[in-house]
Structure 1
Amino acid sequence: MPNWSAIEASFLHLTQPQQLGELASSLAHLKSWVQSSDCNQVIPVLLHESLLYLSLIQQNSEIYNVELNQLQDLLQDWQRNWDTIKEQSSQRVSIADVASNWSERVLNMSGLLSS
């Protein structure tokens, strides 16, 4: 199990654009792993990681609050329903698409690629 305290401490030392970049990366990992048949133990960790990053970003920013709240609701829903979702390949494909879209969206919010 990851050391969430160390992950949080490291994350808080990043700039806001870097934090958004880390969130985008976590969502991209979620997309990749949800397509794998060996995802049952990894996905809950990635969902927890993404939700942790979101929580920390939201504590320090009001800029993207509405969009990030939507993402948070979505991730919490996936987390609550993962035991059902993991058995349905069509749902996993849908999650992969949505996670990919959110990853791109959050990366655009970060501004990291436009500098």
Structure 2
Amino acid sequence: MREDQIRTILTDLNGGSADIEASALISTDGLIISSALAAGMDEDRISAMVAAMLSLGERTAAELSRGNLEQVMISGTQGHVLIIHAGNDAVLCTIAGKQIKLGLLFIDASRAAKAATAILR
């Protein structure tokens, strides 16, 4: 039941913008909780990379006295990856195309993360 609710949040997030290609809710330990990934995307590989980026981001924020990590944003020539906390024990990873308006990505991903957090409690 809980996984179905989270999957609905992820599919709604992906469907809310043509530029959001995939999303996943991942534990801070690097395990997939639920995902709405495109065909050919490897859940295990994505979750491992997200866990590594999260760990590096947290260490960087701490070492540079920037407070608690809020998000990790990766921008490449083909698009963006946004990783934001969804409660204390999970993160939402959103993969979007280059044309997306970043403000909308942040808003939509934040809403989805809050909805997932409420379910995970």
The two structures have a TM-score, normalised by structure 1, of 0.32
**Structure (1/2) with the larger strand percentage:** 2
Q: Which has the higher contact order (CA 8 A, sep 6+)?
A: 1
The two structures have a TM-score, normalised by structure 2, of 0.31
